[in-house]
């Protein structure tokens, strides 16, 4: 009941904030369109970073093809709205247009997430059976293959890009899904299944000896993470109204990795912090665009040498304030005898 009330409160707050920011409650309160767009893209980055952290930070497997799954979600959901949007609208014609837009978005995102999850399954099964860095290579290769395939599908615009997507994702939807992603990842990590994931991260052989089906757990974690990336991609397309495969290159995957590494692998609040920090820095240094990536890459190496666990490490931001609750990740002190 408490959770339900909290959820209603979050939805209400987001809805009100959306109304204020877009100027529905008077133009004086509205935010500049540039700032609103940056904030919305930051929300999408939060979805991507938190979902990638589930596989990279909590399960300890290294995926570097998150942009590929994002692309699948983006293109699938955009295809659904553009081609079946009218039908959904006519079925839901009794609803006000905002509500039927929302329903359409949900249908489209579900389709995108489903396809991204299926792709995640087929990528994950061969590579997660093996120990070591194979997932990194396979996901990287897969991200490029997906791009090549999309570039050759004429139904989604091919090299011209996919335009004419209705703008049905807004601040409200993006942050609703960001909150949902955080809740889902939090619940997974704090469940018994989450503990098996953390056990795999800490020591795969020991986890297997304790009876964890490591391949199965890794694949589930990867599939969930891919589906969330698909949702992030779907929101991305419906917010910017245009998709091109250039948005989903290897560099996009690396950006998401930089976010979670800055914030802390294995920390949800760290990922949120990293995503916000990253977009603030990139927008702030827009004038020095050519030096930006050089600096970021140098920062990545230096962070790895000086503080490999990222800013927050495995801990959550809240635990810094209260110092009471720690993640189950923290190893318990050995018993004194």
Interface positions with another protein (CB under 8 A)? 56, 60, 62, 64, 126-127, 129-134, 136-138, 140-142, 144-145, 148-149, 151-152, 205-206, 250, 254, 257, 261, 265, 290-291, 293-294, 296-298, 300-301, 304-305, 308
Looking only at the bridges linking them, the beta strands covering 242-243 and 162-163 are antiparallel
Considering beta carbons, is residue 86 or 133 the nearer one to another protein? 133
Distance separating alpha carbons of residues 305 and 310, to the nearest angstrom: 10
CB closer to another protein, 131 vs 326: 131
CB of 118 to another protein, least distance (A): 15
Closest distance between another protein and the C-beta of residue 329, in Å? Answer: 14
Nearer to another protein, 1 or 289 (CB): 289
In angstroms, the CA 194 to CA 67 distance is: 24
Nearer to another protein, 29 or 330 (CB): 330
163: helix, coil or strand?
strand
Q: How far is the CB of 331 from another protein (least distance, A)?
A: 15
How many CB atoms within 10 Å of residue 331?
8
DSSP at 154: G
Closer CB to another protein, residue 17 or residue 137?
Answer: 137
Query: C-beta of 73: minimal distance to another protein in Å?
Result: 20
Q: Which is nearer to another protein, 102 or 157 (CB)?
A: 157
**Least distance between another protein and beta carbon 59 (Å):** 11
**CA–CA separation, 88 vs 31, rounded Å?**
32
Rank residues 8 and 298 by Cβ distance to another protein and give the closer one: 298
Closest distance to another protein from the beta carbon of 245 (Å):
13
What is the separation, in whole angstroms, between the first and last Cα of the chain?
43
Dihedral sign, CA of 44, 262, 142, 127? Answer: negative
Judge contact between 57 and 271, C-beta under 8 A: yes
- Our CB check for another protein shows the closer of 238 and 314 to be 314
Helix (H) or strand (E) holding 243: strand 242-243
User: Quick one: tokens of 136?
Assistant: 């990194």
β-sheet bridge partners, residue 242: 163
List Cβ neighbours of 232 (8 Å cut-off, separation of 6 or more). Answer: 44, 47, 48, 51, 70, 73, 177, 181
Distance CA 329, CA 95 (A): 47
- Cβ 11 to another protein, closest distance in Å? 37
Query: What is the nearest approach in angstroms of another protein to the Cβ of residue 127?
Result: 6
Closest CA to 142 of 231, 238, 225, 63: 63
């Amino acid at each position: 009941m408490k959770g339900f009330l909290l959820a209603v409160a979050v939805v209400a707050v987001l809805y009100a904030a959306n109304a204020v920011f877009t100027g529905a409650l008077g133009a004086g309160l509205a935010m500049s369109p540039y700032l609103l767009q940056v904030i919305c893209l930051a929300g999408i980055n939060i979805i991507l970073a938190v979902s990638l952290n589930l596989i990279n930070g909590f399960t300890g497997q290294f995926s570097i093809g998150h942009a590929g799954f994002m692309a699948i979600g983006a293109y699938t959901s955009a295809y659904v709205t553009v081609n079946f949007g009218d039908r959904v609208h006519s079925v839901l014609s009794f609803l006000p247009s905002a509500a039927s837009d929302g329903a359409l978005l949900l249908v489209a995102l579900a389709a995108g997430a489903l396809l991204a999850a299926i792709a995640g399954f087929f990528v994950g099964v061969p590579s997660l059976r093996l120990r070591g860095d194979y997932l990194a290579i396979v996901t990287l290769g897969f991200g490029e293959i997906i791009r090549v395939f999309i570039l050759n599908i004429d139904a989604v615009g091919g090299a011209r890009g996919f335009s004419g997507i209705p703008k049905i994702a807004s601040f409200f939807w993006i942050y609703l899904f960001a909150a949902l992603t955080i809740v889902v990842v939090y619940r997974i990590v704090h469940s018994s299944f989450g503990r098996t994931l953390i056990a795999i991260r800490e020591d795969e052989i020991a986890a297997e000896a304790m009876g964890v089906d490591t391949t199965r757990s890794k694949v589930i974690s990867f599939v969930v993470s891919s589906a969330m990336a698909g949702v992030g991609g779907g929101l991305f397309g419906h917010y910017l109204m245009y998709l091109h495969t250039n948005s989903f290159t290897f560099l996009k995957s690396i950006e998401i990795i930089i976010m979670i590494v800055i914030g802390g692998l294995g920390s949800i609040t760290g990922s949120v912090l990293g995503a916000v920090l990253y977009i603030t820095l990139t927008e702030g240094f827009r004038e020095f665009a050519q030096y930006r990536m050089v600096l970021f890459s140098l920062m990545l190496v230096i962070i790895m040498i000086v503080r490999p666990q990222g800013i927050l490490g495995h801990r959550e931001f809240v635990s810094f304030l209260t110092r009471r609750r720690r993640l189950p990740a923290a190893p318990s002190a050995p018993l004194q005898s």
